Amino acid sequence: MAFSEVRKREFINETFRLLSGTLGASRLVFYSVDDNNNLHNFVCSRVPSEFLKIYIREMHAHDPLHVRQIKHEQSPVLKMNDAGRYSAESEVALYRQFLNVFQVSDTIELIFQRDSQIYAGICVMWTADDAKPDDTQFHLADTLHPYISYNLKAVFTRSKAAEAVQANALLHLTQREAEVARLLCCGRTNADIAQCLGIGLATVKTHLIHIFDKAGVDNRAGLVSRMMQLS
């Protein structure tokens, strides 16, 4: 693991210990956010693997505190109790049912921005075994957020969005092809790409044929290498 990646993981682990100790929450999830508001690079603490699998597969689309739902919100700390402000009540109820299955009683979302763009977040979850959070915990989260945000920016370097745009232009990729190429370069499978973009698997394969042809490569590894050369 590269030194920078070690620093990132150490920072996340220390942040988890801080939040768990001060807020009394037993489950936490850190995630990165790409330029299209997709969540990736999940790091979990005491979160059941099945919870994350179901979330990635389907429940992210119903999450009322997902980045897509709250991207225009000014507050950096968002409560599940306020979820009705961001999503329909039916969606909130469905998502709460999902949380209940895994004994999650309450959640808050800490959102981190750079240049007005959300690039990371932390989901804090209280279970039925934790003390019920109150205004004290929510105030602590608000107080801790600036400290975490300041240090997070030092550990997580800026995205290479500009370089990606340049590579896409040089290959003459359409907007959709660029999205498919980006997800592929992040290690997503064809099924993942279809799920993230809301398109069919056959459509993903068609896009890949066009992308490979424009890049002059025969496979996924070749495309990753080509994109790196152009960025």
Residue 67: CATH number of its domain: 3.30.450.40
Same domain, 143 and 104: yes
Q: Determine the pLDDT at residue 117.
A: 87
Same domain, 145 and 184: no
Residue type (1 letter), 114: R
Q: Determine the pLDDT at residue 101.
A: 97
What are the pLDDT digits (tens) for 133-175?
Answer: 999 999 999 999 999 999 998 888 655 555 566 677 778 888 8
Q: Determine the pLDDT at residue 1.
A: 46
Phi and psi dihedrals of 64, rounded to 5? -70, -15
What are the pLDDT digits (tens) for 153-164?
Answer: 888 865 555 556
> Is the pTM of the predicted complex or chain greater than 0.85?
no
How far is residue 231 from each of residues 77, 139, 182, 184, 220, measured CA to CA in Å?
A: 34, 43, 12, 15, 17
Same domain, 95 and 141: yes
CA–CA dist 204, 47 (Å, integer): 31
SS3 95: helix
Same domain, 19 and 116: yes
Q: How many structural domains does the chain have?
A: 2
Same domain, 142 and 180: no
Same domain, 25 and 116: yes
What are the pLDDT digits (tens) for 31-60?
Answer: 999 888 999 889 999 999 999 999 999 999
Residue 225: CATH number of its domain: 1.10.10.10
Instruction: DSSP letter for 89, please.
Output: H
Residue 53, token pair as written in the block = 């699998």
Same domain, 108 and 146: yes
Q: Which of 104, 132, 155 is the last residue of a domain?
A: 155
Q: Determine the pLDDT at residue 205.
A: 95
Q: Determine the pLDDT at residue 203.
A: 95
Same domain, 120 and 198: no
In terms of residue numbers, what domain contains 211? 161-230
